[in-house]
Amino acid sequence: MQLFRYAAELPLCLLLSSSLQSLELRSNSQPHLLLHSIVESSPYLRNLHLRLQWTAATFSLLPITGLIYLRDLSIFLDYDNTGFDCTKLQAMAALKELETLSIRGMFKGEPKSCCSFAKLRELRIDVSLFGSCRSIKSYLGAISAPHLRKLAITICSDLQDVEGVHDCMTAIYGPSLCEFQFSSFGVFRNSPFIARILALFGPLLRIRNVVHVCLDCNVQLSFSDDDAKAMATAWPGLKRFHVDTQFKSTATLPSALTLAHFARGCPVLEDLELQCMRMDNITSPEMLPVQSHPLRMLSIENLPGGHYRILQERCRCWTPCSPV
């Protein structure tokens, strides 16, 4: 069930039922009243996605603790003066069955105690409109999630703050963590800064069980042969590697052998997507990574047209990109 907006004179409880398991709600009404209605009318909810347009300085998430069967919770706040503080985080931690948590908003203050999420497997934090890595570092550090497998962070700050990026990656490290997605959508198109992929992912090199890494940003990226070899050595179990940037440049052309080194060094690699570089310097089919390593998915940019057939023969699913 998706409930986007409802008339103020119509009680929300009339639209809900005790058998309801999934609810998506978008509203500009008072959040605490909505949450009380949801808990009272649909106590067996498994999935709850809230998008709230609320301008009050604070509101309470305590009513949500009544949804003891909740497994998937997403909360998006559309105003930067409505922030997440430690009390809201503690309210979410009271949901003992929670497996997936997504938060979009501004984090305020400092958490005063550790919040334990015993079953949490996926955490998504989006401060793309409101903040940087440093604004969420303390909150990530206050979360205990021993079974967390996937961490996705979206910021709006410059990737020149490499230390801040590292802080986010390591603040919530656990033995099960193996999937990382990092996005930065700040507009830095006129910046001469070039981000070295290995420098950004440095802290992850000591985590041997990494299986999925994704980077999406708006700066120039450098991915050298040495970087490819180091990452392939560090992550023998890597299955998916995605790098994308809206900042295309011919100033940082990689060696064509980078692709081959990386793919051959990751024996179980299935999905390789590099939209950060122009591959027009591939001059022969032998330089393609699939020559000795059949991938399920390969997506690269500006590949010479004569080599598409080789890729189609060796990949189950080939997604070519138009030359630019």
The domain segmentation of the chain, as residue ranges, is 1-177, 190-281+288-323
C-alpha of 10 from chain center: 37
Beta bridge partners of 215: 182, 243
Residue-level pLDDT at 16: 75
pLDDT above 70 covers what percent of the chain? 62
pLDDT at 159 over 50: yes
Least confident piece of the model among 159-168, 240-249, 262-271, 287-296: 287-296
* Fold designation for 1-177: 3.80.10
Q: What percent of the chain has pLDDT over 90?
A: 13
User: What average pLDDT is seen over the chain?
Assistant: 73
Q: Which residue has the higher pLDDT, 251 or 17?
A: 17
- Helices assigned H by DSSP within 12-111: 31-41, 86-93
Give me the residues paired with residue 242 across strands. Answer: 214, 273
Most confident of 1-15, 89-103, 264-278, 305-319: 89-103
pLDDT value of position 269: 87
Name the one residue in this structure whose structure tokens are 């009339």: 14
Weakest-pLDDT range from 145-154, 220-229, 302-311: 302-311
- Is the per-residue pLDDT at 127 higher than 90? no
Q: Note the residue count of the chain.
A: 324
Give the predicted TM-score (pTM) of the model. 0.80
Is 322's pLDDT higher than 50?
A: no
Strands 150-155 and 194-196: unpaired
Is 29:55 a contact under the CB 8 Å cutoff? no
pLDDT over 60 at 205, yes or no = yes
Across residues 310-317, what is the average pLDDT? 46
The pLDDT value recorded for residue 148 is 92
* Residue that is written with structure tokens 């790098």 in the block: 243
Question: Per the structure block, which two tokens stand in for 125?
Answer: 């934090």
Interval 28-49 mean pLDDT: 81
pLDDT at 221: 74
Q: Token pair of 226, please?
A: 């040495």
**Is 48 in contact with 73 (CB distance < 8 Å)?**
yes
> In this predicted structure, what is the pLDDT of residue 121?
95
Q: Do 69 and 44 contact (CB within 8 A), yes or no? A: yes
Structure confidence at residue 111 (pLDDT):
75
Q: CB–CB of 222/196 below 8 Å?
A: yes
Pairwise CA distance, residues 284 & 286, whole Å: 5
For residues 89 and 239, the model is more confident at: 239
β-sheet bridge partners, residue 25: 3, 50
Average of pLDDT values for 58-66? 77
Phi, psi of 299 (to 5 degrees): -135, 110
Ranking 129-133, 215-219, 293-297, 308-312 by mean pLDDT, the lowest is 308-312
